[in-house]
Every structure is written in structure tokens, then in C-alpha cells.
Structure 1
Amino acid sequence: MKTYKNINRRQSDRIYVGKIPIGNNAPISVQSMTNTRTTNTLQTINQILELQKVGVDIVRVSIPTLNAAESFKIIKEKVETPLIADIHFDYRLALKAIKYGADCLRINPGNIGNKRRVSEIINAAKDKNIPIRIGINAGSLEKDILKKYGIPTPEALVESAIRNIEYFDSLNFNQFKVSVKASDVFLAVEAYRILGKKITQPLHIGITEAGSLRTGTVKSSIGISALLSEGIGDTLRVSLAANPVEEVKVGYDILKVLCLRSRGVNFIACPTCSRQEFDVINTVNQLEKKLEDISTPIDVSIIGCVVNGIGEAKVATLGLTGSYKKSSFYENGIRQKNKLKNEEIIEQMEIKIRKKAKELDKLNYLKK
């Protein structure tokens, strides 16, 4: 994988969500959350399976009622992906989720109630050896902290986090990660920067309630990339008002751009102009959709003319440079003898990319 900048990651402790390592330089894991009703077990299971197809590492499932907790038990038995039970207000739901096999809990201790209830959750998590995420959100700060600062500020989020961390420490529980999320990019980023210097626990990063697919992707990319480029963050979730599958795709795209983790086909494509010799936009869009199932990291350049096409093709695994009627095809930087008919580009490139992905998979297997 290409890398141009060595990102020195913040040193952190190691925890596990199921078999997924988090912290201490483990690969940055990509999370998402189901948006189905948990009581609709079939729909929820199907959504988790769809998330698995695009490479999700961990899935969070909301448990707002006792009926949802019973459904969670069934869901957990039907999927392989580690599941985090998302709990608010009622500590009994957390206890049920632990009993039914949750790989991790996400709680906001401030809305669980008194410390006795939080301690019951911690003791149960200790007994089953599962971690907890302390999830602090700008929209649900403790009343006394909000009164002190007036509005959510980075310092307010960090104070809330430290308060809960100290309580977890007092109970000798260290299997936890922390998030200090806000929908405001600058607020969230600064809170993570401050907190990252104060604790050694893994940090779950993201911009909460980021918005629609387009605007949410922009906000999340700016905020998450700012943190990751500074070495802050051990696991992430892109929060979009969209199909959760899109959250995972965007998450991997962010990691891919930063050369922190790579999955699937990385398309290098021109924005097009009147020099293009074939329909670049339609070609890239169709190939991206057709090849979503490929997990092998592979760079593919698709450029509509010779201005930048040759240069990009020479540094990509596979490359296509537009020419009149037939376009030049490159493999491992070398131009191949046979050109591709422009009207057959989508079909032929899909075949060639799949063939190359299989070759790379075999090569990687033999290296192990």
C-alpha cells in the first residue's frame, strides 16, 4: 500500500470487541449501527449480513426495550460479526444484553442513573470479560456540567468523560474505550485532542449526527481525517442519515486515502472534459457498483485521454488510457499489446480486475 506520510499513532491500551482488537496500534476498525427495529429480527439480521459484505468489523444494535433485548439474543446467535449493545437509561437492558452474549456495551453513564446501577453493569461486564464504551455526546451532557459551561464545549465533553473514567477506575475496570462526539466538527475534534493527552484508553472517533449522505460524508471526512492524521483514533464510525452500508464504505475510503488501511478497488478517475474518448463517469460508476464484493486492495486508473492517462496507468496496478475507438490497457505499469474497444470497456475491465484480484489473493496467501 502506498504511503507518503508516516502517521505516528497515539499510544493506547488494547481491548477486544469479540475477536476485533482495538488500540495499541491494531488496525483501525470500521463500525456501523443497524437502523432497523431490533424487534424485527429478520430485517436486522439481514442488514448486519449486508454490512458484513462491505467489510464492517463491528456492528452496534440499539436495545431500547426488554422485547428488543429478547430479539438481540436471537440476532446474536445468527451472525458472526461482533455486536455492541447500545443502552440508554435502563441498566436492566445492559444486564440482559450481557447475559445474551453482547461483545461490548455502549453506555452513557450520565443517563443510566445512580452509581449503584452503573456498578452493576460494570460487575456483569467484568464477569463476562467484555468491554464497555463510555459514550459522551454534546447533546446529552450531565446537567451540572452543562450548567457550569453554559453550552457544550470541548472542555465540557472532556470533563464528563474524565468523571466517568475515574469512576470506572475506582471499580478496577479498565476494559473500556471512550468517545466524545458532537455534530460540530471543531467541537468534536478539539475534545478528542484534549482527551487523547489525558488518558491511555482507546478512542472511538466520529462526528455524531453528521447529516445526509452527501453533507454527512463531508463533515465526517473532515473531522475523522483531522484526528487520524494526528494519530488520534483506534476505531471509527461514520454517522449518516443513510443506509448503514454507506457508512462502512465511507469509513474505508477515509482510511484508504490516509494510507492507514485498504480494502477493495481504489479507482483513480479523471473528472472528464471534452478530450475524453469514452464515457469515464458511467464507466467508473458501473465498475464501482459491480466490484463492491472485491475486498482485495487494488489500484485501478481510468483516465479518458492521454494527458494524464499514461502517467497514472504506469503507477496503478491496472490502468486504462482513453484513445479513439480503442483504449490502451496497462498492467503493473506496462502497456499491453491488445487495446480494449471503447464500447466493451466496462465488461472487459470487470473481467481483468477480478482476474487480478484473484492473482493477488493467491500471492498473499502463499506469502503467509
Structure 2
Amino acid sequence: KASPLPVVADIHFDYRLAIESAKNGAAKIRINPGNIGGEDKVKAVADICKERGIPIRVGVNSGSIDRKLVEQYGGVCAENMTLSALNAVKMLEDADFGDIVISIKSSSPRLTIETYRILSQKCDYPLHVGVTEAGTLREGMIKSAVGIGALLAEGIGDTIRVSLTGDPVDEVRAGISILKALDLRKGGITFVSCPTCGRTEVPLIELASEVEKRICDLPYDLKVAIMGCVVNGPGEAREADIGLAGGKGEFLLFKKGKTIRRLPAETAVDDFVEEVIKLGKESTI
């Protein structure tokens, strides 16, 4: 009742918790085929969810595959992860339940990609995509971008989850960035900056970090560039809606590759952020 967002009950081991969650307002139930129990328990969950119009996610995790499947294949692999998911789906279908979503995750991006590719060829249910136990912020974002990004680029996946050991807000930001990088989501700031070179005449790393921090949560659908020199900066970032190129003692403000005016170094960041906000407001009129 207190959550502003739908709550998904993530259930392991005790199917009765899934039943109680369904009775108490859960918007979706996730069951783990590796530990939820046999067909009778899955049917009990399916019955209450069907009665209340609640979808079920069959959530396979490489760390909790049924021991018999692991022994059958000599370890965890894409084939037995897929089979684990499809066996659970069959139980739900036998219980006359079809409002199903499937996820099939590993902490290995390679195994995750391979498994989803196989699964996508074997069923038409919506797929929830993610790399589980990806790690802390730096490592986890890289693994998630590789695993989720590769699948989405192939048209595989309907919803995503970035799993990080950290603030859930960072998970959401990373997920949005992955979608925007693939042009699957519009809105919000797209930030680009150059990697620095011998022509760089300003403290670009600090400058870019400061600007990104101040504009990253703005709602405007703009591509913003921070470039390290005035020689190639505006030209290389001509696709940006607005950008800032650093020079000795002053900066160039440019839009779509064309120089608009010069900004003094002392106030360049403040002036630029104001220009970004101004352009954003104009673009929404």
C-alpha cells in the first residue's frame, strides 16, 4: 500500500509465501523453479494468481538449478537453464495459467546471452533480461551493459533489470543509459565527451564530470557534448544539440556544430548549464 510502484514478490523455497503475497497486493509473483517445489505447489500458486489476475515470472538463476539437471549435463549450462525454465512453464500451462514472464539469468554475461538466445527460439513469452549478481557499481555496470545490451541489440528482451551491489537508483540510471545507448528510449540528457588528447587545453575530466553531475537528471531530450579543444570539438560533436569546447582562457558554446558565442573560463560551467536548461525548455514548448 505504501509503494508508489507495483511490487513484485520474489519467492524462493516456500510456495505459501507466494500465495500470501498474491492475497496481499503483489502486482507480480516471481518463482524460482530450482527451489519452489513440485507440480502441486506450482499449481497452487498458479490458481491464486489466475483468480486475482496476477502474472507470474518464472525466474531461473544459474546458482539454483535443480541438482538433477546439473548432474544430467555435468554442470550449469545454457541448455539446462533453458530446460529448467521450460519445465516450470509447462507446469503453469498444465494448470491452465498463461500470464507468464520468463527470466533466465547468470552472473556471466556470456552464459546469460547464450541462454536467452536459445530460450527466445523456443517460446513466445515475454522475457525479462538481466545479468544477476553483476557486482559493485563499476564491474556490475560493465557486465550489465554487455549482457543486456547485446540481447536488446538482437531484439531479445521485453523488460530489463540491472543488478548492482549498491544504490537501486544507480541500477535505474544504468538501465536507462543502456536503453538510450541503443535508441530504445527517448527523453533525458544524452551526455558525450571526448577522451582527451594532445590538443586538450582544459581540465576536461573534472569539467565533464561537473557538467554531467549538474545536468544528468534534467528531463529534456537533448544530446550534450563537452569537448577538450576548440580545433575539432564543435566539428566532432556536430550531432550534439548543444556543446562546450575548451580553449585557453575561454570556451566556445556551440549548437549543432556551429559556434554561438564565447564564454569566459571563470563562469563557463555555470553559463553552459543555464544554456542547456534554456534550450531544454524551448524544446518542450
Matches within 5 A, 1:264-283: 264-283=188-207
Q: CA deviation at 1:187?
A: 1.4
1:347 matched residue in structure 2: 270
Q: Give the SS at the match of 2:252.
A: strand
The one-letter code of the counterpart of 1:200 is D
User: Tell me, what secondary structure is at the counterpart of 1:120?
Assistant: helix
Say yes or no: does 1:95 pair with 2:48. Answer: no
Alignment partner, residue 282 of structure 2: 359
Partner of 1:314 in structure 2?
A: 238
In structure 2, give the amino acid aligned to 1:257. A
1:255 equivalent in structure 2: 179
How much has 1:159 moved relative to structure 2?
0.7
Amino acid at match of 1:249: R
Q: Where does the alignment leave 5 or more consecutive residues of structure 1 unmatched?
A: 1-76, 363-368
8 Å CA contact 2:189, 2:217 repeated in 1: no
**AA aligned opposite 2:277:** R
Matches within 5 A, 1:1-368: 77-336=1-260, 338-362=261-285
Partner secondary structure for residue 122 of structure 2: coil
Q: How far apart are 1:208 and its partner, in Å?
A: 0.9
The offset of 1:202, in angstroms, is 0.7
Determine the C-alpha separation between the residues in 2 that align with 1:243 and 1:81: 17
Deviation at 1:266, TM superposition (A): 1.2
Q: Is the contact made by 1:315 and 1:332 (CA closer than 8 Å) also made in structure 2?
A: yes
In structure 2, distance between residues paired with 1:295 and 1:279: 27
Secondary structure at the counterpart of residue 78 of structure 1: coil
In structure 2, what residue type is equivalent to 1:354? Answer: I
Which one has more relative contact order, counting CA pairs under 8 Å at least 6 apart?
1
Q: Which has the larger radius of gyration?
A: 2
| Residues 252 and 263 in structure 1, CA contact (< 8 A), matched pair in contact too | no
Aligned residues: 285
Aligned partners of 1:334 and 1:101: how far apart in 2? 55
Listed as ranges, the gaps of 5+ residues in structure 2 are none
For the residue of structure 2 that corresponds to 1:112, the secondary structure is: coil
Between the aligned residues of both structures, percent identity stands at: 42
C-alpha RMSD of the superposition: 1.6
SS at match of 1:130: coil
Partner Cα distance (2:236, 2:4) in 1: 39
Task: Tell me, in whole angstroms, the C-alpha distance in 2 between the residues paired with 1:308 and 1:156.
Answer: 52
Query: SS of 2:133's equivalent?
Result: coil
1:288 and 1:321 map into 2 onto residues whose CA distance is 15
Report the Cα distance in structure 2 between the residues aligned to 1:227 and 1:293, rounded to whole angstroms.
26
Distance 1:271 1:86, change over 3 A: same
Matched-pair contact (CA < 8 Å) for 1:277–1:325: no
The alpha-carbon distance between structure 1 residues 254 and 169, as it changes in their structure 2 partners (threshold 3 A), is: same
Which amino acid is the alignment partner of residue 92 of structure 1?
Answer: R
Moved over 3 A (4+): none
Corresponding residue SS for 1:86: strand
TM-score by length of 1: 0.74
Residues 148-200 of structure 1, C-alpha deviations (whole Å, 9 max, x = no match) = 11200100101111111111111221111101111122211111000000100
Q: TM-score, normalised by structure 2?
A: 0.94
Query: Whole-Å Cα distance in 2 between the matches of residues 361 and 97 of structure 1?
Result: 42
Residue 197 of structure 2 aligns to which amino acid in structure 1?
Answer: C
